[in-house]
């Protein structure tokens, strides 16, 4: 089931709600999903264009699996590695999303956001974890999925310090990355990209996380947290 995305005049990400229990929209208990805003560190970034992961254009707010060819089903996923509802989505549909990313008729675009940077102390974990995942993708895109899974498995609590760089490097190596990614993790190579390119596009859409679009149409939240929900939404959209 898919629904058209709503838009509001407010630039702040909206708070999203999942209806639990039977996962049917008219019934169940409301659970607040992630929707607080990012603390930008753009002013601390080096002057000029931000460093980009391999294959990513300067104005492209996502990493991509598939060529986006005519006739492809386009799946956009907006996520934050600190968001507990993104973890719930990944647990329910992450394996299916990874499998969809290998299909010739499907393109998966991942928007790795620093939205919840203010929700750790010190601030900045969302951006650092997104940077670590992008560092793994930059070295070898196919290893991204293992890194995504590892980041969710090790997800820290909000208001904590988050994982330190040594732990992020350990997760990256566990996902198959080499020591070449270490300097990108410790140096925050791709943080200016997620702050200057990824996050402004998501905020302009007034999005929280997780959000999934299929061919530009937002998937209803009830389909995000139930196993098989994403595949059903994709088939319904074809």
pLDDT level of residue 221 (50, 70, 90 thresholds) = confident
CA nearest neighbour of 158 among 20, 14, 34? 34
**Considering only 138-152, 189-203, 210-224, which range has the smallest mean pLDDT?**
210-224
CA nearest neighbour of 226 among 122, 88, 115? 88
Q: For the residues 81-96, what does the mean pLDDT come to?
A: 98
Q: How far apart are CA 43 and CA 76, in angstroms?
A: 28
pLDDT over 70 (residue 21) = no
Q: For the residues 177-200, what does the mean pLDDT come to?
A: 98
pLDDT at 34: 76
Q: How far is CA 128 from CA 22, 107, 135, 158, 210, in A?
A: 35, 26, 10, 14, 18
Highest mean pLDDT among 11-25, 36-50, 216-230: 216-230
Q: For the residues 27-52, what does the mean pLDDT come to?
A: 53
pLDDT over 80 (residue 41) = no
Q: How far is CA 129 from CA 34, 59, 104, 124, in A?
A: 16, 21, 29, 9
Over residues 118-149, the pLDDT tens digits come to: 999 999 999 999 999 999 999 999 999 999 99
pLDDT at 33: 59
pLDDT over 60 (residue 7) = no
Q: Which domains does the chain have, with CATH numbers?
A: 17-237 (3.40.30.10)
Burial-class residue 47 by CB neighbours within 10 Å (0-12, 13-18, 19+): exposed
Give the residue with greater pLDDT, 23 vs 198: 198
């Amino acid at each position: 089931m898919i629904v058209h995305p709503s838009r509001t005049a407010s630039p702040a990400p909206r708070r999203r709600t999942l209806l639990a229990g039977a996962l049917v929209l008219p019934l169940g208990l409301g659970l607040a999903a992630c929707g607080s805003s990012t603390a930008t560190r753009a002013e601390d970034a080096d002057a000029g264009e931000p460093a980009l992961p391999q294959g990513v254009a300067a104005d492209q707010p996502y990493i991509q699996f598939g060529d986006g060819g005519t006739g492809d089903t386009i799946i956009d996923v907006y996520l934050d590695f600190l968001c507990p509802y993104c973890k719930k989505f990944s647990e329910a549909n992450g394996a299916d999303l990874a499998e969809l990313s290998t299909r010739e008729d499907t393109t998966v675009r991942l928007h790795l956001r620093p939205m919840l940077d203010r929700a750790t102390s010190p601030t900045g974990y969302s951006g650092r974890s997104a940077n670590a995942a992008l560092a793994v993708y930059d070295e070898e895109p196919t290893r991204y999925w293992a890194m995504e899974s590892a980041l969710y498995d090790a997800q820290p609590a909000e208001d904590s310090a988050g994982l330190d760089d040594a732990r992020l490097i350990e997760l990256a190596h566990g996902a198959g990355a080499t020591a070449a990614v270490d300097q990108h993790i410790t140096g925050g190579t791709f943080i200016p990209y997620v702050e200057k390119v990824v996050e402004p596009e998501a905020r302009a859409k007034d999005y929280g996380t997780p959000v999934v679009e299929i061919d530009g149409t937002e998937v209803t939240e009830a389909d995000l947290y139930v196993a098989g929900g994403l595949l059903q939404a994709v088939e319904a959209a074809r």
